[in-house]
Homo-oligomer: A and B are copies of this chain.
């Protein structure tokens, strides 16, 4: 683990001062073209790579950004957003020589502490905020800490620079499709309480139904996990007049709900239509295949990283909005069976 070669070695070998080496490497003015060429050649020959440690201490930059994932481990393990988002972030960071520091926290409190430490010990230059809550305590925290941050899918009024993908169009169009098929009793399996997108999705679901002159069906909150979807089934479907369709706030919950419905003797889609949200790959391979709303976490990650880097560069940044979500109609959504309790008119 000897990295014997430092800027001093390069300077000596090229017979210049370290100041010149630094300037040459960083493409700063003040070095003649030929000196610069000589220095770079020597650096290359010696295999010199500037040490991040020295550079960080001196330059006041960690060349790293942070992401704290805050959710229960079990949920996280199958989370569809996570990996794709990070892949998008990484694709941008890599080109700029930045690294991603990933941390996980099981609780709100733990996550707060991780952010605080990352800022205090200067491990990162900025962070991403995902899973935004309506009144998110991390926003004032980061302001106090002076740590640059980019919020992902935050509320429009959020004071932080934000990147967003509009959930509404895809979901709205999906629920409209549900209504168009003839469903009049449509329930909602919502996400975790308090999260912004949980509210957004609930609001859209409700508004489409109301606009269609229908009464919104029951709402049950889950936590995005398959397990929570399964658990929600009895509460959602056990009544005397169960809904004919359930719009779920995540694909995993939708899968769980299908499973839970099956345990109650209800078949999807013949007895019940179910839709998800996220567009996880596996949804297309299930039986029935899962109707859902396709999201683009990878592009969101890339946009978030670009915004954060721009912020760190001191550029003015504006909120970014990537293309909206789109509905994906598949087998788990069909027209409802004719209701038996309401006899046909022409009898």
Q: Is A74 an interface residue (CB 8 A)?
A: yes
Please provide the chain A residues from 236 to 266 with a CB less than 8 Å away from any CB of chain B in the complex. Answer: 252, 255-256, 258-259, 262
A52 and B82: CB pair below 8 A?
no
B51 and A282: CB pair below 8 A?
no
Of B73, B86, B227, B286, which is within 8 A of A255 by CB?
B286
Secondary structure class of chain A's binding surface, majority of residues: helix
A77 and B84: CB pair below 8 A?
yes
Q: How far is the CA of A64 from the CA of B101 in the complex (A)?
A: 9
Interface centre among A54, A84, A100, A123 (most CB of B within 10 A): A123
Q: Is A102 an interface residue (CB 8 A)?
A: yes
Task: Render A193-222 as a binary contact track against B, CB cut-off 8 A, 1 for contact.
Answer: 000000000000000000000000000000
Please provide the chain A residues from 1 to 48 with a CB less than 8 Å away from any CB of chain B in the complex. Answer: 1-3, 47
A226 and B102: CB pair below 8 A?
no
Q: How far is the CA of A77 from the CA of B266 in the complex (A)?
A: 31
A282 contacts across to B, CB distance below 8 A: 78, 226, 252, 255, 282
Of B62, B90, B121, which is within 8 A of A104 by CB?
B90
B57 and A53: CB pair below 8 A?
yes
Number of copies of this chain that the complex holds? 2
Of B53, B121, B227, B259, which is within 8 A of A122 by CB?
B53
B102 and A147: CB pair below 8 A?
no
Contact-residue size bin, chain A (C-beta under 8 Å from the other chain): 35 or more
A91 contacts across to B, CB distance below 8 A: 104
A117 contacts across to B, CB distance below 8 A: 49
Smallest CB-CB separation from A255: which chain B residue? B285
**Min distance, Cβ A230 to any Cβ of chain B, angstroms:** 6
Task: Render A134-151 as a binary contact track against B, CB cut-off 8 A, 1 for contact.
Answer: 000000000001111000
A3 and B122: CB pair below 8 A?
yes
A52 and B121: CB pair below 8 A?
yes
Of B2, B120, B255, which is within 8 A of A49 by CB?
B120
Please provide the chain A residues from 78 to 102 with a CB less than 8 Å away from any CB of chain B in the complex. Answer: 78-80, 82-84, 86-87, 90-91, 94, 99-102
A86 and B102: CB pair below 8 A?
yes
Of B53, B120, B225, B281, which is within 8 A of A3 by CB?
B120
Please provide the chain A residues from 282 to 333 with a CB less than 8 Å away from any CB of chain B in the complex. Answer: 282, 285-287, 298
**Known contacts A259-B286, A262-B287; can you find 15 more A-B pairs with CB under 8 A?**
A1-B146, A1-B147, A52-B62, A53-B122, A54-B57, A56-B57, A73-B298, A82-B83, A99-B118, A100-B101, A100-B103, A225-B281, A226-B281, A226-B285, A282-B282
Can you spell out 12 A-B residue pairs with CB atoms less than 8 angstroms apart?
A53-B62, A73-B87, A77-B80, A78-B281, A90-B103, A100-B103, A101-B102, A102-B102, A226-B282, A230-B285, A259-B286, A287-B287
